[in-house]
Amino acid sequence: MLWTDEELDQALSELHADVHPTPNGLAVARERVLNPTPQRRFRRPWLPIVAAAAAAALVSTVLVLRPHTAQPAAPPTTSTTTPAAHPSPMPLPQLLSQIHYSDPTVAPGQFRYVRDQLWAGGADGNPDKPLTDQATATWQPARWTDQWLRQEGPLGTQTAKYADGVISAVGPEDKFSMHPNEVRAGCADFDSVNPQVTGHLPCAEQKGGWLSPNPDWLAGLPKTPEGMAAKLMADTSAAGHGIAPLYYAVYALKTGIFPVDVRKVLWQAIAQLPGAYGLRDVANLDGKAGFAISVVTNGVTDEVLIDPVDGTYLGERQFNAANGSVFLFSAMRYGVVDALGVTPR
């Protein structure tokens, strides 16, 4: 079932509202996403568009990050009892200075493979409520206008808890037996596979933006961290509904198309967000450790993970340390392959 931009923006604003008019504000918004009214249309190319069984996948995408409108908490301090493998604070200037940046070579006829897997849900903050496990894999051609492939779908449900700096699975996962949804289109314009709905053909009328980045839009981004931070905050403010700047940044990074020079500036811009602090040794869903830029707002911690080896986005964590509830836990994988649908080793 598809949504209009206005309807999704309204749902996003409710899902990301830190100050709720009622105690059940977030739960109500989540119910709207899971059970939309009939005949709605939605046109966001990077959001999951899986059939009814993946309705929860949409929720996990829009629950990426909470807005940082309240006074953030201070960075956590290192405990003498914290194992070395657990996250430990790192000053942001030091963190940023230790990140190396590089991009892989994707030759003509090859494809950049990007896979985002996440556990997400828990909108009511119940630490015992299972999260939806889902994955979205994208094959990006060396030439933007060539055909792209995206496969996505739910994998199962998994309960998870946060404790002592670590997010862990609780019990076995309840696996789904489903085939992923598959969409092919030029220019990553996956909406264009149905021109009757979108009103345009592949690669046409692509304006670009944080929710649908393309090469022309990327080339026009500010070249300084201060300029990038200002644009990020201005664009989210113009969108309204209290959407956080960090949400837009992470949503764009999930596409995996940000080149090395833009990624470097964007990380430096995110580090300028109010209350941001650095961490090291933060593991993603795959167990791969990296750096993190973190913010704590109203008791909810948002951590955006960075691979210090090449500066790529590694995933994210969102949790409430007080009661151990997990809202989101994810991992990004990358590779270069010779054909659509091929998974790198």
pLDDT at 190: 84
Work out the percent of the chain whose per-residue pLDDT is above 90: 57
pLDDT at 192: 72
Closest CA relative to residue 58, chosen from 123, 128, 147 = 123
User: Are the beta carbons of 313 and 253 closer than 8 angstroms?
Assistant: yes
Q: Where are the chain's structural domains?
A: 5-337
**Token representation of residue 51:** 């059939």
pLDDT at 207: 81
pLDDT at 122: 72
pLDDT at 200: 62
What span, in angstroms and rounded, lies between the C-alpha atoms of 61 and 15?
A: 11
Of residues 80 and 245, more confidence is placed in 245
Task: Answer whether residue 92 shows pLDDT above 80.
Answer: yes
- Going from the C-alpha of 2 to that of each of 8, 55, 137, 187, 332, the distances in angstroms are 10, 11, 21, 21, 26
pLDDT at 297: 82
Task: Answer whether residue 2 shows pLDDT above 80.
Answer: no
Task: Answer whether residue 169 shows pLDDT above 90.
Answer: yes
For the beta carbon of residue 344, count every other beta carbon within 10 angstroms.
Answer: 12
For the beta carbon of residue 204, count every other beta carbon within 10 angstroms.
Answer: 13
What Rg, from alpha-carbon coordinates, does the chain have? 19
Q: For residue range 297-343, what is the model confidence (pLDDT) as tens digits?
A: 888 999 999 999 999 999 999 999 999 999 999 999 999 999 999 99
Pick the most confident of 41-50, 72-81, 222-231, 234-243: 222-231
Closest CA relative to residue 169, chosen from 157, 181, 179, 161 = 161
What span, in angstroms and rounded, lies between the C-alpha atoms of 272 and 266?
A: 10
